[in-house]
């Protein structure tokens, strides 16, 4: 083989390798992401709602460990001790319990790529303050904001699934935050957001765009569609309107999937991916 042919063979080989690396790299990069998740379940008096909360907490835990492939040690559950979701690995959901858990993560955890805080439970409005109901002293949204800001992460997803959740949105807004609230600040009925959001995370039909990757925006839009269908089927007045804020201006959107037209919220949520892996990671205690 002469030098001219040899150069062409070498060049062709390099091109093939570059194409292979380009195809593999996005997946490898996503799998290299580090996550930290805190799932928080507040106090609930109603038995049926409490059972639904248990399914939500369990569903979220399994989604992050079994499908996203996260280390179970990076998924913390903080819930009421009377909840059936409470186990030896969980932290009791009190004001001091949650504060200590978040302070510990802030001190001991190296910066992560993505941090998720998910609250589901009851809450009430006291003037312009949202109070998350836990045993003992309630947690105000001002306190929660202070505790979450010390967590070191490139991106933070904060989900509040509780009545009047939108009251907290302006304080929680930050250029580094994506904030999802299950209801506006004036909607005091118990929302059903999580009961539809968790299934949306696991259903292939939730990924409506052609990129074949499930994003937060995909799951949010699928949840809104599912909620609309639910209230229509039950012939109930829709008492919750989910909100998403991710552009840092403090003004949320109820239809962030229209961000290309509006130029507002939705662009960052569209790039916040839940990379599904085939690897099943053993849960704590197994």
- pTM for the model stands at 0.85
pLDDT digits (tens, 9 = 90+) for 233-270: 999 999 999 999 999 999 999 999 999 999 999 999 99
Hey, what domains does the chain have and what are their CATH numbers?
Answer: 33-271 (3.40.50.1460)
Q: In what order do the strands lie in the sheet with 177-181?
A: 91-92, 75-79, 35-41, 112-120, 153-161, 177-181, 243-245
SS3 16: helix
Question: How confident is residue 137, by pLDDT bands cut at 50, 70 and 90?
Answer: very high
Per-chain mean pLDDT for the chain: 87
Beta bridge partners of 130: 125
Q: Is the pLDDT of residue 10 over 50?
A: no
Whether the CB-CB separation of 183 and 241 falls below 8 Å is answered with yes
Whether the CB-CB separation of 199 and 62 falls below 8 Å is answered with no
């Amino acid at each position: 083989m002469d030098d001219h042919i040899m150069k062409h063979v070498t060049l062709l080989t390099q091109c093939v390798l570059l194409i292979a690396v380009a195809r593999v790299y996005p997946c490898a990069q996503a799998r290299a992401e580090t996550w930290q998740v805190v799932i928080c379940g507040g106090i609930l008096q109603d038995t049926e709602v409490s059972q639904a909360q248990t399914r939500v907490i369990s569903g979220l835990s399994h989604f992050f460990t079994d499908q996203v492939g996260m280390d179970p040690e990076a998924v913390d559950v903080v819930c009421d001790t009377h909840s059936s979701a409470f186990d030896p690995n969980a932290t009791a959901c009190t004001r001091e319990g949650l504060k200590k858990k978040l302070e510990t993560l802030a001190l001991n955890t190296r910066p992560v790529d993505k941090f998720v805080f998910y609250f589901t439970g009851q809450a009430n409005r006291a003037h312009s303050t949202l109070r998350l109901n836990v045993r003992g002293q309630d947690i105000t949204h001002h306190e929660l904001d202070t505790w979450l800001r010390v967590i070191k992460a490139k991106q933070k997803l904060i989900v509040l699934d509780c009545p009047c959740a939108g009251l907290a949105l302006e304080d929680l807004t930050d250029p580094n935050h994506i904030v999802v609230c299950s209801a506006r600040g004036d909607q005091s009925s118990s929302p059903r957001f999580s009961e539809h959001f968790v299934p949306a995370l696991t259903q292939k039909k939730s990924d409506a765009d052609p990129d074949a990757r499930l994003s937060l925006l995909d799951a949010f839009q699928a949840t809104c569609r599912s909620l609309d269908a639910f209230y229509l089927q039950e012939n109930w007045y829709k008492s919750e309107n989910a909100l998403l804020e991710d552009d840092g201006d403090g003004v949320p959107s109820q239809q962030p999937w229209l961000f290309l037209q509006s130029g507002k919220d939705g662009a960052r949520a569209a790039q916040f991916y839940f990379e599904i892996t085939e690897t099943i990671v053993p849960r704590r205690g197994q």
